[in-house]
Amino acid sequence: MKTGLLQKVAWILVIVGALNWGLVGAFDLDLVNLIFGLWPTLVRVVYILVGLSALVMLFGGSCKAKGGGEKKM
């Protein structure tokens, strides 16, 4: 099974988002804001991309239920 580029990028962004929320919860440290804080628009874009990536991971995976995944022998 090949994973598309969109799914790979989404996976990375979901991991970044999860790690960031872990840091916020544990240490009150917002790493995205710390790195991109001088550009508030970029911070917002990163958060939007993380959210969209979660939707891609949730709804954009392979559709085995629709018959597009496995080969039957």
8 A C-beta contact, residue 68 and residue 61 = no
The 10s digit of each residue's pLDDT in 10-43 is 999 999 999 999 999 999 999 999 999 999 999 9
> Rounded to whole angstroms, how far apart are CA atoms 25 and 52?
21
Q: What is the pTM of this model?
A: 0.74
pLDDT at residue 64 is higher than 90: no
Alpha carbon 45 to its chain centroid, in Å, reads: 13
Cα dihedral: 21, 25, 27, 33 (round 10): 40
